[in-house]
DNA sequence: CAACTGAATTATGAATTCATTATTCGAGTC
DNA sequence: GACTCGAATAATGAATTCATAATTCAGTTG
């Protein structure tokens, strides 16, 4: 007889859990770009030895989130303006593709789900609440990605997005840009409802260009121009 | 006094070297898809302990080349037909993008270089020499990628290509498909010389579709249809 | 003789230990 | 007083060790 509740799950290995945890620390800003990653402290914090943590760091390094210099430890990768210009065309291509594919597979239920997310997001926009706006915004893009049913595309896109998904970018978005972003989202929803892959593809690409502008702007304020290399540590 | 030859030299860490070595073993076919990766033997073979090897395996797993099942070790990821259908649209988008960007940056010298590679490749085609044809073919695509000057794009593309860059695919390409591929390469070269990004983009996408057909065909022969899961080991 | 049980073996996951390299800090020199 | 050199300290990289889970295989039972 089989176990009544097969209960797959949490067979996650330690290093796997750690990659997720450290990644979260980084994307949530607890570890700032350029900052050194203190192996010892993280080990104590999570109550694990260095071995699995180091494995996790290697993986994050291969994702580009972390930079590893031989015998000098790990640092959070600092995104330079030049790098941004590199990343965005690639994200644009993937985002466009995701829109195209999503339209071919998305169900009515999924569209309804996104419509609901969109409505809530607009509410937060009206209320000027940036934090929850950002979360819903992200949820919508995630839902579109999910609708592609393409694991490869999902993991590629997430890998790139992970390098710049900081809630704080949105903090200094101008009201005009913000309004434009909401309008773009309106168009995104409309294209989805028409299942217009080509159209959605184009809108998403434009939408991303807007985001690029926002992030570049944010970056400027972080590293005042003329200062080639950002501060190494705090 | 400084050493006469500053000799940067391979300050490469062991795990880094190992990732490359094991990756090579896989893409060159020494380790077949589905096959279990014997930690112990590889350690002896390379004369290292398990720690750096395991780190390497984690990285390869994050690239998708290797599959890690908790407490059950590592296996070379077997590419299923379904997965192929997933990977190709993404590669297509990246390949198209690389053509577009390459045309904006490529130098005359680089075009000349590619022209030379192309000429040699055509010679091998005429002679029916598949192995060297394959190498030059790969070199041309690599050169285009290089011309994008976009590290992000390069590493993304290579990551995907690594999952299906097996020289052996080409072994069962039909003469007709082979001739068509050569013709496509002719068009690729022409578009490059015109620096026609849009055109190149389209040709590369079509070219990749041809490759998809070749690989699918090859895969069919490896796993006779009706046999859902490939053999686990040999 | 097939199928199951459970001990022996082996492999994996993670902690610990060891060696080597960077970094810090202080003494000595110009 | 600033700089250099060098010892002490701390960190990293890799090997080893230890605990645990999976696999194998012999013995048993139906």
| pLDDT (tens digit per residue) in A52-98 | 999 999 999 999 999 999 999 999 998 888 888 999 999 999 999 99
Residue B78 has pLDDT above 60, yes or no: yes
Report CA A123 to chain centroid distance, whole Å. Answer: 22
Q: Note whether B11 contacts A55, CB cutoff 8 Å.
A: no
Taking CB atoms and an 8 Å cutoff, what residues of chain A touch B160? 152, 156
| pLDDT (tens digit per residue) in B195-226 | 999 999 999 999 998 888 888 888 887 766 54
pLDDT band at B175 (very low <50, low <70, confident <90, very high): very high
Shortest CA distance to A56 belongs to which of A13, A16, A12, A24? A16
Q: Note whether B89 contacts A155, CB cutoff 8 Å.
A: no
Mutual angle of helices A39-46 and A50-63, in 10-degree steps: 120
Please give the Cα distance from A133 to A131 (Å, whole number). 5
Query: Please, which positions of strand D sit below 7 A from a protein CB?
Result: 11-17, 21-23
Shortest CA distance to B26 belongs to which of B51, B52, B61? B61
Query: Residue B27: what pLDDT?
Result: 86
Taking CB atoms and an 8 Å cutoff, what residues of chain B touch A87? 152
CB contact burial B169-188 (16+ within 10 A = b; e otherwise): bbeebeeebbebbbebbebb
Residue A11 has pLDDT above 60, yes or no: no
The number of beta carbons lying within 10 Å of the beta carbon of residue B80 is 15
pLDDT above 90 as % of chain B: 70
Region(s) of chain B under CATH 1.10.10.10: 14-76
Taking CB atoms and an 8 Å cutoff, what residues of chain B touch A153? 86, 89-90
Give mean pLDDT, residues B190-198: 96
Q: Find the Å distance, CA of residue A216 to C1' of nucleotide C22.
A: 35
Please give the Cα distance from A39 to B189 (Å, whole number). 50
Rounded mean pLDDT of chain A?
87
CB A60 within 8 A of CB A23: yes
Please give the Cα distance from A127 to A138 (Å, whole number). 18
Please give the Cα distance from B43 to B52 (Å, whole number). 9
Q: Evaluate if the CB of A54 falls below 7 Å from strand D.
A: yes
Query: Residue A224: what pLDDT?
Result: 61
Q: Which tokens is A111 given?
A: 């569209």
Of the listed ranges B6-10, B14-18, B127-131, B221-225, the one predicted with least confidence: B6-10
Question: CATH class for domain B81-222?
Answer: mainly alpha
Chain B interface disruption, residue of A90, A161, A197, most B CBs within 10 A: A90
How would you classify the pairing of strands A73-76 and A66-69? antiparallel
Q: Note whether A86 contacts B160, CB cutoff 8 Å.
A: no
Residue A69: beta bridge partners?
Answer: A73
The CA-based angle A230-B2-B7, given to 5 degrees, is 70
CB B152 within 8 A of CB A164: no
Q: Which fold has domain A14-76?
A: Arc Repressor Mutant, subunit A (1.10.10)
Separation in Å, CA B98 to CA A14, A95, A158, B67, B205:
38, 16, 20, 29, 10
Of the listed ranges A134-138, A161-165, B124-128, B134-138, the one predicted with least confidence: A161-165
Instruction: Find all residues with CB under 8 Å of B2, minimum gap 6, and list them.
Output: none
Residue B153 has pLDDT above 80, yes or no: yes
CB B214 within 8 A of CB B173: yes
Instruction: Find all residues with CB under 8 Å of A84, minimum gap 6, and list them.
Output: A164, A212, A215, A216, A219
* Sequential DSSP letters for A154-211: HHHHHHHHTTT--GGGGGG--HHHHHHHHHHHHHHHHHHHHT-HHHHHHHHHHHHHHH
pLDDT above 90 as % of chain A: 70
Of the listed ranges A104-118, A181-195, B78-92, B215-229, the one predicted with least confidence: B215-229
| pLDDT (tens digit per residue) in B112-149 | 999 999 999 999 999 999 989 999 999 999 999 999 99
Grouping H, G, I as helix, E, B as strand and the rest as coil, residue B76 is strand
- A99 Rama class: left (phi>0) / alpha (psi -120 to 50) / beta: alpha
Dihedral sign (CA B118, B102, B213, B216):
positive
Q: Measure B109 CA to nearest chain A CA, in Å.
A: 23
* Sequential DSSP letters for B104-152: HH--HHHHHHHHHHHHHHHHHHHHT-HHHHHHHHHHHHHHHHHHTT-HH
Give mean pLDDT, residues A106-124: 97
* Sequential DSSP letters for B169-200: GGGG--HHHHHHHHHHHHHHHHHHHHT-HHHH
Q: Which tokens is B220 given?
A: 């069919």
Q: Which tokens is B185 given?
A: 């390469």
Q: Find the Å distance, CA of residue B69 to C1' of nucleotide C5.
A: 27
Residue B2 has pLDDT above 60, yes or no: no
Region(s) of chain A under CATH 1.20.120.530: 81-222
Please give the Cα distance from A91 to B126 (Å, whole number). 40
Shortest CA distance to A94 belongs to which of B155, B143, B96? B96
- Identify the helix (H) or strand (E) that includes residue A90: helix A81-105
Please give the Cα distance from B2 to B19 (Å, whole number). 32
Residue with tokens 């260009």: A209
Residue B48 has pLDDT above 90, yes or no: yes
Instruction: Find all residues with CB under 8 Å of B207, minimum gap 6, and list them.
Output: B95, B181, B184, B185, B188
């Amino acid at each position: 007889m089989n176990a009544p509740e097969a209960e797959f799950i949490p067979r996650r290995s330690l290093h796997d859990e750690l990659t997720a945890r450290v990644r979260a620390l980084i994307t949530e800003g607890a570890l700032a770009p350029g900052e050194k990653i203190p192996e010892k402290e993280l080990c104590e914090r999570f109550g694990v030895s260095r071995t699995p943590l180091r494995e996790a760091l290697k993986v994050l390094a291969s994702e580009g989130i972390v930079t590893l210099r031989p015998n000098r430890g790990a640092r959070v990768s600092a995104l330079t303006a030049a790098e941004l210009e590199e990343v965005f065309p690639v994200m644009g291509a993937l985002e466009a593709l995701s829109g195209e594919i999503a339209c071919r597979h998305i169900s009515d239920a999924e569209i309804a789900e996104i419509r609901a997310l969109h409505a809530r997001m607009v509410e937060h926009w009206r209320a000027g609440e940036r934090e929850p706006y950002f979360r819903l915004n992200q949820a919508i893009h995630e839902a579109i990605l999910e609708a592609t049913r393409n694991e490869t595309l999902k993991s590629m896109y997430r890998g790139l997005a992970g390098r710049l998904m900081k809630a704080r970018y949105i903090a200094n978005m101008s009201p005009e840009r913000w309004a434009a972003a909401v309008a773009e989202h309106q168009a995104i929803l409309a294209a989805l409802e028409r299942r217009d892959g080509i159209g959605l593809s184009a809108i998403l690409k434009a939408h991303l260009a807007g985001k690029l502008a926002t992030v570049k702007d944010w970056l400027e304020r972080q590293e005042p121009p003329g200062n080639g290399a950002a501060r190494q540590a705090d």
